[in-house]
Chain A
Amino acid sequence: MTEALPESAVSIQLSVPASILPASLVVLSLAFLFALLLRKKKQSRKKGQSDWSIPHLDRHADLDSFFHNWNPAVKVASLFLYCFLVVSLKTLVCSAAALMISILAVYFSKLPWRRSLQRLAAMSGFLIMFLLVLPFTSKEQPGEILLIFPLFPGFPFHLNGFLLALTIVVKACAIALLMEPMLGTSTFSATLQGFSRIGIPSPIIQMILLSHRYLFVFQQELVRMLRSMRVRGFTARTDILTMKTMGNFFGMLFINSYDRTQKVYEAMLCRGYRGDFPTFHTQEVNGKDLAKGGMWIMIGFILLLTELMPSLPSP
């Protein structure tokens, strides 16, 4: 049993495709570097002040592309299913292929890269934790490759754990990059109509619409309140005074919002609200929309089936 160990270790080393690993590493590190740069630039521009602005999802919904000309209901339904297929991938090779497809999708959607990169940056904290922790804590498997660093002999670096973490990161990036083409290429209400067509109940859709509308109102209120706090000499620190001030601040924000609800509701009733928002534009689904949807789902299944072929390694 012990004699068989080194042999199987070698075979695993060979079965990791030598070209994919460095390639995906390069892509990833570039993406993260870019995202970090973006963040830093934004921070330096604001001079230490945090940015609490809320992005407009559908700012570029009036362009003309593969995704823009796609019926929102079919788009949301098929890409949502596709995302689940990508999540089900287990190998690095297929996940990297999915990442490439997503990069192409962002390219063909003609949307600016900035928002997509911001999405990657938003996940980076959570994903970097996996990249740093998994290689050192994953379960030891017979015949796997361990790298032992000279300074930390107690913490061997598991190649399997690293590959698992990398697969997770690649899958997460693949799906996150697909979000802008999926959600940013139709107007927000059309996208939500798409979600309601795939079975989300209409009261919830209305709540989402209304909440989304009021996010911007409260964001402005928040900026205004914070500004007046700064004028009075408040600076956030790690102390009990900051927590007390912020506690009162949140209390005020919630009370304001609660007081507003009644007014909002009455204003809605005045304008004839009867429990749902009427929609005036319902795009017809044509054969082309369905063909696009079918294509995406097929790509997802092809990726999934490729994995089942015995020639590919499963890290």
Chain B
Amino acid sequence: MHISDGVLPTTISMAAYAATALGAGLSLKKIRQEDLPKIAVVTSSFFVASLIHLPLGPTSVHLLMPGIVGALLGSAAFLSITVGLFLQSILFQFGGLTALGANAIMMGLPALFCGLFFQAIRGKTLLRNTLAGALAGGLGILLAASILAAFLYTSGEDFIGVAKLALAAHIPVIIIEAAVSAFTVSFIFRVKPELLHSVLR
């Protein structure tokens, strides 16, 4: 779920922009110049993957993948997600341009955290990697939903109901995302394990 224009007060969206600029700047500093084109190419594959909707009972959900992006890109994840969200905003209007900062914080911080978390617990066996993938995937959505709720909560007392609903709506997504992430990580571990301790970090 992306925050659209007009929801957050201007002060909060400006502050989120400033924080995103800081995060992207730090991310940019850590990455070698020659890796930027590569991260850009990987970013478009994440973007395309997030367009796929999986059926969930009568409706469908699309994956957000902060966990997987964090696990694969490490510290470059924040930059990758910011670029991806910018493109989603200008191409599809998923998330407004004025709320881009808030959306980047909402998805980027969980990605960074999940990346560290994944590397810390993944160990060396297939089983542990798969479990770590599931935890990182689920945790990514949980954190993103919590940050979304926090943004809405700080925007005014009127938004508490919406914040709660948004949090509840993400529970099925957490489960699906955890399962799909587990399978994705297990697949990558078997086929191309070097991707998991990526060169692009």
Contacts and interface: CB of A to CB of B under 8 A. Distances in A.
Chain A interface size band reads: 35 or more
* A contacts with B: majority SS: helix
B161 A214 contact: no
Given A55-B92, A87-B13, A254-B188, A172 B43 contact: no
B162 A204 contact: no
Contact of B98 (A84, A183, A242, A246): A84
A236 B54 contact: yes
A208 B44 contact: no
A265 interface: yes
B68 interface: yes
Interface centre among B45, B57, B87, B176 (most CB of A within 10 A): B45
B195 interface: yes
A297 to B, nearest CB: 15
Interface stretch (B1-9, B111-119, B120-128): B1-9
Interface residues of B, number: 78
Contacts of B179: 240, 243, 247
A139 interface: yes
Nearest to A123: B4
Q: Which 5 residue pairs spanning A and B have beta carbons closest together?
A: A247-B183, A137-B161, A171-B6, A251-B187, A257-B45
Given A50-B53, A219-B51, A236-B54, 15 more contacts: A126-B1, A130-B7, A167-B6, A168-B6, A169-B6, A176-B4, A210-B40, A211-B41, A211-B84, A237-B55, A243-B54, A247-B179, A254-B195, A257-B45, A260-B41
Interface of B: 1-10, 13-14, 24-25, 28, 33-34, 36-49, 51-57, 63, 65, 68, 72, 79, 82-84, 86-87, 90-94, 96-98, 157-162, 165-166, 176, 179-188, 191-192, 195
